[in-house]
């Protein structure tokens, strides 16, 4: 039996009210708010955090697929960097998927095929997007940022795979050329009917015919929205009742691009019961439809941080200008920081995989990696060790002089739960809420730009335990 063995969603903590976006241009506001990345986040860091949470539930991983239309690198394997940050083995199969917001379900289908055709234990499919729409456009209110991860593997599974259908469609809906920073939208009633409705209906009808089921036999239709309510209209037209349609969280998150389908699948699994049939749809330049049946193992699966819990962690931008500044800071900022591939190779294990040194004589863990134990001065019993990702604040300082798009910069000394002490920037926190002993988790973030590279490093952020 193959299917889903684990799932996770990562929602950035920052939000902006749609009324604030609309008022900047004297426009009508859609209800609610949308998620928004901090200045040091991008689609790669969103996916990395979702992958880290997903990997907590599996003992091994033999593949990592990353889907995004806004991947930070066009000619460097983004999935490879995510795999390194998660310290996966070099033999793990990694691949990038892009070109459409449907890339999340395309990657999911490829993972299912690969697991079915091999003895691979688990392939984790991660998707994330940080899409930008033209200021003043309705899409700026509709879009949201998020990452999600689904692990595909063999029994025991929490939802077994029953089949899928797919159609492609060379149709103009949302377009972004290689030279564009923002999308071009062709949203209209014609787009809904000719593109969204037609493609999704074909994929759904073909899958239901293939597996011999009727709409009323589906417990949950997981349909990614293109706006506030079009998915509800579409579901009714293809024979589904409103209570069968998965909630989209549009009023709190928005439409999150390639991660939308996987995010909603994870949300459905949070509330699913054994024998529930979940019908997942991916939309973009066509449509995918995938069917899963929940197993008894769902009762033993404990989600680390459910979506509703993450929504309660909101940090709201105080102005539209700060929202735009956070999104564009690294896009137009260069530190002229150049490194050689020799230096990158030498420090990748320490700075990306986050390894330190442990003394076998006295047990002391240190970071950065060292040749001399700081405690017992031993030089013969040191070994490399992977550091943990959780800890507590030992001490901190607030720095108002370091250049930052959203000052001040908070620097913290963190004692890791498994040993080791790091000096890190804090992120995703209001300075007045920091306290000694606060539990934190480490998160990969953008640190600088320069030399034709995005420079990533670890920061810490508050963790709810």
What are the strands, taking DSSP E only, across 284-417?
Answer: 286-294, 315-316, 355-359, 365-366, 382-386, 390-399, 409-416
Please, what is the end-to-end C-alpha distance for the chain in angstroms?
Answer: 34
What are the backbone dihedrals phi and psi of residue 463, each rounded to the nearest 5 degrees, phi first?
-120, 130
Exposed/middle/buried for residue 212 (C-beta within 10 Å: 0-12, 13-18, 19+): exposed
Residue 465 is predicted with a pLDDT of 67
Residue 332 is predicted with a pLDDT of 78
Query: Cα dist. 326→316, 317, 331, 392, 405 in Å?
Result: 12, 10, 10, 27, 7
DSSP state of 418: T
What is the largest distance, in Å, between two alpha-carbon atoms of the chain?
A: 73
Residue 139 is predicted with a pLDDT of 97
The total of other beta-carbon atoms located within 10 Å of residue 359's CB is: 23
Listed residue (427, 411, 410) closest to 463, CA to CA: 427
Listed residue (287, 327, 42, 339) closest to 167, CA to CA: 287
| Structural domains of the chain, with CATH | 2-332 (3.40.47.10), 341-354+389-462 (2.40.50)
d(CA 297, CA 157): 7
Task: Judge whether 294 and 272 are in contact, CB under 8 Å.
Answer: yes
The model's pLDDT over 283-328, given as tens digits with 9 standing for 90+, comes to 999 999 999 999 999 999 999 899 999 999 999 999 999 999 999 9
Listed residue (427, 366, 374, 417) closest to 394, CA to CA: 417
- Residue ranges for the chain with pLDDT beneath 70: 465
DSSP string for 148-159: EEEEEEESS-SE
DSSP state of 90: T
pTM for this predicted structure: 0.96
The enclosing H or E element of 322 equals helix 320-328
CA dihedral 79, 84, 86, 92 (to 10 degrees): 70
Torsional sign, CA 148, 152, 156, 161? positive
């Amino acid at each position: 039996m193959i299917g889903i063995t684990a799932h996770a969603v990562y929602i950035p903590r920052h939000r902006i009210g749609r009324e604030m976006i609309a008022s900047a241009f004297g426009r009508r506001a859609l209800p609610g708010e949308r998620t928004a990345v901090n200045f040091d986040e991008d689609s790669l860091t969103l996916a990395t955090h979702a992958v880290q949470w997903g990997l907590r539930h599996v003992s091994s991983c033999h593949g990592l697929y990353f889907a995004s239309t806004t991947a930070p690198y066009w000619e460097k394997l983004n999935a490879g960097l995510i795999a390194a940050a998660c310290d996966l083995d070099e033999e793990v199969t990694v691949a990038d998927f892009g070109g459409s917001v449907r890339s999340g379900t395309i990657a999911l289908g490829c993972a299912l095929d690969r697991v079915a055709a091999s003895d691979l234990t688990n392939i984790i499919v991660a998707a994330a997007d940080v899409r930008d729409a033209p200021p003043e456009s309705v899409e700026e209110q509709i879009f949201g940022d998020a990452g999600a991860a689904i692990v595909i593997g063999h029994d025991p599974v929490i939802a077994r795979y029953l089949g899928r259908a797919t159609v492609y469609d060379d149709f103009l809906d949302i377009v972004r050329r290689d030279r564009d920073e923002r999308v071009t939208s062709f949203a209209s009633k014609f787009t809904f009917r000719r593109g969204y409705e037609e493609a999704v209906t074909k994929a759904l009808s073909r899958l239901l015919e293939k597996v011999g089921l009727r709409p009323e036999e589906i417990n949950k239709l997981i349909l990614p929205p293109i706006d506030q309510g079009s998915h509800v209209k579409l579901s009714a037209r293809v024979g589904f009742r409103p209570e069968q349609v998965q909630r989209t969280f549009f009023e709190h998150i928005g439409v999150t691009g390639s991660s939308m389908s996987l995010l909603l699948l994870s949300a459905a699994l949070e509330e699913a019961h054994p024998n529930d049939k979940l019908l997942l749809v991916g939309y973009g330049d066509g449509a995918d439809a995938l069917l899963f049946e929940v197993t008894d193992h769902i009762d033993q699966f404990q989600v680390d941080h459910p979506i509703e819990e993450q929504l309660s962690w909101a940090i709201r931008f105080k102005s539209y200008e700060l929202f735009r500044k956070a999104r564009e800071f690294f896009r137009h900022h260069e530190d002229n920081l150049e490194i050689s591939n020799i230096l990158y190779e030498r420090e990748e294990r320490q700075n990306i995989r986050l390894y330190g040194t442990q003394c076998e004589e006295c047990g002391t863990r240190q970071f950065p990696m060292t040749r001399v134990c700081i405690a017992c001065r031993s030089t013969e019993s040191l070994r490399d060790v992977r550091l943990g990702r959780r800890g507590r604040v030992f001490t901190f300082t607030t720095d108002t002089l370091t250049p930052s798009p959203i000052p001040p910069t908070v620097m913290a000394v963190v004692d890791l739960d498994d040993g080791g002490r790091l000096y890190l920037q804090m992120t995703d926190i209001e300075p007045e809420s920091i306290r000694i002993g606060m539990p934190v988790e480490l998160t990969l973030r953008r640190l600088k730009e320069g030399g034709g590279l995005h420079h990533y490093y670890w920061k810490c952020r508050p963790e709810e335990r």
